[in-house]
Copies of this chain bind each other. A is one copy, B any other.
């Protein structure tokens, strides 16, 4: 439209817009027909620092299942506990879990599954909020939970979503409690080596081999395809424990490496049939588990 005065008014259920030589009539609907905004009972409420929540959600939401066969895996688990909130997401091939400190623990212990779409929308809202212009209290997201709905309130914006019904899997039991081999690696170097190996992995399988020779302080990453050829990278690492080897889907591995915010990572394995764990070298509030590809 021209850069000039715009007249806007209502006429017979239409929104009239006039500006110089432009005339537009936009069909409307009666205000009564607008869907009711559900009211949320503010009994169970939790507070989290906005930046903590943003980072935590981004670190888990990518692992949500996109398949429709198990609806409870298509959301992020929010497990509210005294003084902390545990977030988890899995598609049954890999799992990401993050611990966040609650600013107040006034709500009771509770587990809810929030649809991935809602989480992505919340991330968009949080990213658009300007933290530097806020008071300390405004830099918090308040979360209200009812039987089947959740409301996120941040900087005056309220996002209400239904919850996913169903039981989230008891994933804690698949997290290995001890490991046979532990290795520390430079994250950026590992990402580079995995990307180089990925070129020679089998398409559709995306398999790359990680070998941990005992007492050698290196990890050997190999891949081979009958069409393209093969690739070997020896990466310096700090190694503890037994001789070991594992085959992983390089895409899942890269997803995890890209979401760990640490210079060095800790990789733990038991054997080639058992989930392996990735963590930041020092922090204990994040973990990422990958199921290996069986040979």
Interface residues, chain A, with chain B CB atoms under 8 Å away: 1, 14-15, 21-27, 193, 196, 200, 227-236
Contact = CB atoms under 8 A, between A and B. Distances in A.
A13 to B, nearest CB: 10
Number of copies of this chain that the complex holds: 2
A24 B229 contact: yes
Contacts of A230: 24-25
A21 B229 contact: no
Contact of A14 (B23, B26, B27, B229): B229
A56 to B, nearest CB: 34
A60 to B, nearest CB: 32
Contacts of A26: 228-229
Nearest to A192: B1
A233 B14 contact: no
Given A1-B196, A196-B1, A23 B233 contact: yes
Interface centre among A1, A23, A24, by most chain B C-beta atoms within 10 angstroms, is A24
B229 A22 contact: no
A14 B224 CA distance: 13
A196 B228 contact: no
Contacts of A229: 14-15, 24-27
